């Protein structure tokens, strides 16, 4: 009898960025959901890698260590998944630290603008939602609004107040995506564009940008994602065929912070094998 196809989810967040579960809790939730291979991809940080690695070994789950790199292109937020990078690469680590530092001051300004418009929120309420050492972000503003009873779910905040087009949106430092692709490749990692044609976070990226990123070293597109409908999936498939890119699928799980459920979209074993082969090997996939 042939072995069952492993369940592979290559995009999930812990409380080290904007998830609601610690890295070990995230790994435990993935195991309980029947996932065989999980990627931890916190925003702009490798801070959860060690704890997640220990938990994966303890629970018998295969772990892909990754990062979701925040980028900006023409005032538009673009996210790049970076798999199996060297966590001590100086150029990439400097860039991520610069982005993290910029986030905190940006959130304070956003809260100030929202409060001035009568939205019941204070910066102290936001800071109360950020776990020690975590990367602060817009989801923590949403969590503060949930905690004080203004809304009931993060999605409500992102549908209005926290979008890139909102009058309360304040830009923070983040690299150009082509530069980020080059940094990830320089760190031995494999760059995949996260939810490129999202329908819920403003406009998705253009085909022209995907072509530019492919020339810079982009390895793949996250085609199978809750923010993509059939039209967006078909668009990703066509671009992948044209540009020789990999196609991944994942949950973009954040715990109770979003409606995304673990393994609701998955990646094939062949694509995971290709990602491993494209990395330098400095950071290996953690297997039981």
Write the CA distances from 88 to 30, 53, 97, 215, integer angstroms. 27, 17, 12, 26
Name the more confident of 171 and 15.
15
Separation of first and last alpha carbons in the chain = 23
pLDDT digits (tens, 9 = 90+) for 139-159: 899 999 999 999 998 889 988
pLDDT digits (tens, 9 = 90+) for 203-235: 689 999 999 999 999 999 999 999 999 999 999
Partners of 63 in beta bridges = 38, 286
Q: CA–CA separation, 53 vs 40, rounded Å?
A: 10
- 140, two tokens: 């923590």
pLDDT digits (tens, 9 = 90+) for 166-190: 999 888 889 999 999 999 999 999 9
Residue 113 has pLDDT above 80, yes or no: yes
Residue 279 has pLDDT above 50, yes or no: yes
pLDDT digits (tens, 9 = 90+) for 32-58: 999 999 999 999 999 999 999 999 999
pTM for the model stands at: 0.87
Q: What pLDDT score was predicted for residue 1?
A: 44
Mean pLDDT in residue range 5-23: 95
How many Cβ atoms sit within 10 Å of the Cβ of residue 41? 29
Residue 104 has pLDDT above 80, yes or no: no
Q: What pLDDT score was predicted for residue 199?
A: 73
Q: What percent of the chain has pLDDT over 70?
A: 98
Q: CA–CA separation, 236 vs 91, rounded Å?
A: 30
In a 10 Å sphere around its CB, with 0-12 CB exposed, 13-18 middle and 19+ buried, how is residue 124 labelled?
exposed
pLDDT digits (tens, 9 = 90+) for 56-102: 999 999 999 999 999 999 888 899 999 999 999 999 999 999 998 88
Tell me whether strands 76-83 and 246-249 are parallel, antiparallel or unpaired: unpaired
Is residue 3 very low, low, confident or very high in pLDDT (cuts 50, 70, 90)? low
Q: What is the mean pLDDT of the chain?
A: 93
Q: What pLDDT score was predicted for residue 23?
A: 98
Q: What pLDDT score was predicted for residue 202?
A: 61
């Amino acid at each position: 009898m042939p072995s069952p196809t492993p369940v592979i989810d290559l995009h999930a967040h812990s409380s080290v960025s904007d998830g609601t579960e610690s890295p070990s809790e995230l790994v435990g939730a993935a195991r309980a959901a029947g996932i065989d291979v999980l990627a931890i991809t916190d925003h702009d940080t490798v801070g959860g890698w060690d704890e997640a690695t220990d938990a994966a070994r303890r629970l018998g789950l295969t772990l892909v260590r990754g990062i979701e790199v925040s980028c900006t292109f023409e005032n538009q937020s673009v996210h790049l998944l970076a798999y199996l990078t060297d966590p001590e690469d100086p150029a990439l680590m400097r860039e991520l630290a610069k982005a993290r530092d910029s986030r905190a001051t940006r959130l304070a300004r956003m809260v100030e603008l929202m409060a001035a418009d009568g939205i019941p929120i204070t910066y102290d309420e936001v800071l109360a939602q950020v776990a020690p050492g975590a990367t602060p972000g817009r989801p923590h503003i949403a969590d503060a609004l949930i905690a004080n009873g203004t809304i009931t779910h993060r999605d409500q905040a992102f549908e209005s107040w926290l979008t890139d087009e909102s009058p309360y949106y304040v830009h923070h430092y983040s690299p150009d995506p082509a530069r980020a692709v080059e940094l990830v490749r320089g760190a031995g990692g494999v760059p995949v564009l996260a939810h490129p044609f999202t329908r819920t976070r403003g406009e998705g990226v253009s085909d022209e940008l995907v072509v530019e990123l492919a020339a810079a070293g982009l390895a793949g597109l996250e085609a199978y994602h809750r923010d993509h409908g059939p039209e967006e999936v078909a668009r990703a498939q066509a671009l992948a065929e044209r540009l020789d890119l990999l196609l991944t699928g994942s949950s973009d799980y954040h715990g109770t912070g979003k409606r995304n459920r673990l393994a609701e979209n998955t990646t094939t074993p062949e694509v995971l094998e290709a990602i491993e082969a494209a990395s330098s090997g400095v950071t290996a996939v953690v297997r039981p």
